[in-house]
Amino acid sequence: MINIPKGTKDVLPFDSYKWHYIENTVRDVARIFGACEVRTPTFEHTELFLRGVGDTTDIVNKEMYTFEDKGNRSITLKPEGTAGVARAFIENSLFNAPQPTKMYYITPVFRYERPQAGRLREHHQFGVEFFGSSSPQADVEVISLAKTIFDRLGVKELSLNINSIGCKSCRKDYNNALKDYLRAKLDGMCNTCKERFEKNPLRILDCKEEGCKAIVKNAPNTVDYLCDGCKAHHESVCKGLTSIGMDFEVNPRIVRGLDYYTRTVFEFISTGIGAQGTVCGGGRYNDLVEQVGGKPTAAVGFGMGIERLILLLESLGLKIGEPYSPDVYIAPMCEDAKEIALKLANELRKNGISAEFDVMDRSFKAQMKYADKLMAYFVIIIGEDELKADKVAIKNMKTGEQESVDKNRLVEYIQIKRYRQE
């Protein structure tokens, strides 16, 4: 028996409706914000992520699925969604169209991580990327898009944490202040953070090690070191969020795990699903397009983990869509009725009504039991009497009500009873 690889999951037929529900919801919310879907390849040249995501990040240092293909090219399975979208934006000259370019994606993401609840080696993200606008309004739009999804799904228990990590120029001042603060405390920090100290001290604020977390508790805050432009941007974002009634908290410890962020960063965090509480994270990344070879282009976006979202909805006891059940199960009582069952199913399906019938040679009693298990809305029974009268008996499985209906009136009957009365 060959097992599924560690850190991956099957979505089984009786559960996939949850995914459809979430995918339909996020697609519709993207639509009302004017974002169109972009699909990029599952793998890219490794170079893209080295340049885009940054070589001081956990993703690039430890988590990438990188291999050589048969043509000796270094290839990497997407460890996040944004770099590929930025590449597509540049390569297809999307910047030539009137801006902004508003895109979304639903994609598998691959990271070699230690698997645990809410942390997989293949997970899926819904992501949004708005390119071409440096306005704080775009940040607000993107954050409010994520919030609209949570509202539609009925999630109230998430807190929005935002921060600003400034731009290239003011981050230098901040990095110096942070290093001054940390220098004497280096001995108490993990080895990764010791390395980060010189290369990218900001990353230390994102460390999950308890020792490092304790040390950074009193570190200086990025918001106190912002240049005038970054400060004004941050204030406008906060003002915009307030004006549409969104609650948030400015959390100076949010810096995000990827190198490409500038100015706004944010996370939607739940306390209900354990350590892996960040369901959605994003921010502005004005330097990314340039870093991967395009003209400087302002951009803002987020990634939302679908598995974590499902865990969250389940933990809150929320309904995640409707499982499949047929409109009609057709149960012939005798041999002669089987052909009628086949023809009827065909006719119903042509009219968009879902219909199933016995293909397991079950007894009539077993067919009724099976229809019950399938949670069929109606069962159509065809026995000797029905055959003679050219009718069928149709039973509403919820109410138990049963009627005799002409075969040629069946579609209309089901449409009225099933759909117009619901």
What residue ranges bind ligand ATP (CB under 6 A)?
Answer: 80, 111, 113, 118-120, 123, 125, 257, 276, 278-281, 303, 305, 307-308
Spell out a b/e string for 56-90, using b for 16 or more CB atoms within 10 Å of the CB, else e.
Answer: bbbbbeebbebeeeeeeeeebbbbbbbbbbbbbbb
Q: What is the DSSP letter of 2?
A: P
**Least Å from the CB of residue 52 to ligand ATP:** 13
Query: Residues 18, 321: contact at Cβ < 8 Å?
Result: yes
Comparing C-alpha atoms, which of 335, 308, 326 is closest to residue 123?
308
Which residue number has the CB closest to ligand ATP? 305
Nearer to ligand ATP, 114 or 365 (CB): 114
Which residues does 133 contact at the CB level (< 8 Å), separation at least 6? 99, 100, 298, 300
**Least Å from the CB of residue 279 to ligand ATP:** 5
Location of structure tokens 């929320």: 318
Nearer to ligand ATP, 38 or 392 (CB): 38
Nearer to ligand ATP, 118 or 201 (CB): 118
Nearer to ligand ATP, 132 or 281 (CB): 281
Nearer to ligand ATP, 125 or 367 (CB): 125
**Least Å from the CB of residue 35 to ligand ATP:** 17
In the sheet that 402-406 helps form, which strands lie side by side, from edge to edge?
A: 355-357, 328-332, 378-382, 391-396, 402-406
Nearer to ligand ATP, 304 or 330 (CB): 304
Taken as a whole, the chain contains a residue count of 422
**Least Å from the CB of residue 224 to ligand ATP:** 24
Question: Three-class SS of residue 294?
Answer: coil
Query: Residues 89, 294: contact at Cβ < 8 Å?
Result: yes
**Least Å from the CB of residue 65 to ligand ATP:** 12
Across the strands, what pairs with 381? 331, 393
**Least Å from the CB of residue 207 to ligand ATP:** 10
**Least Å from the CB of residue 51 to ligand ATP:** 17
Comparing C-alpha atoms, which of 406, 422, 421, 418 is closest to residue 327?
418
Nearer to ligand ATP, 269 or 368 (CB): 269
**Least Å from the CB of residue 78 to ligand ATP:** 11
Interaxial angle between packed helices 16-32 and 136-153, expressed in degrees from 0 to 180 and rounded to the nearest 10: 140
Determine phi and psi for 247, rounding to 5 degrees: -80, 140
Interaxial angle between packed helices 306-315 and 16-32, expressed in degrees from 0 to 180 and rounded to the nearest 10: 110
Nearer to ligand ATP, 104 or 377 (CB): 104
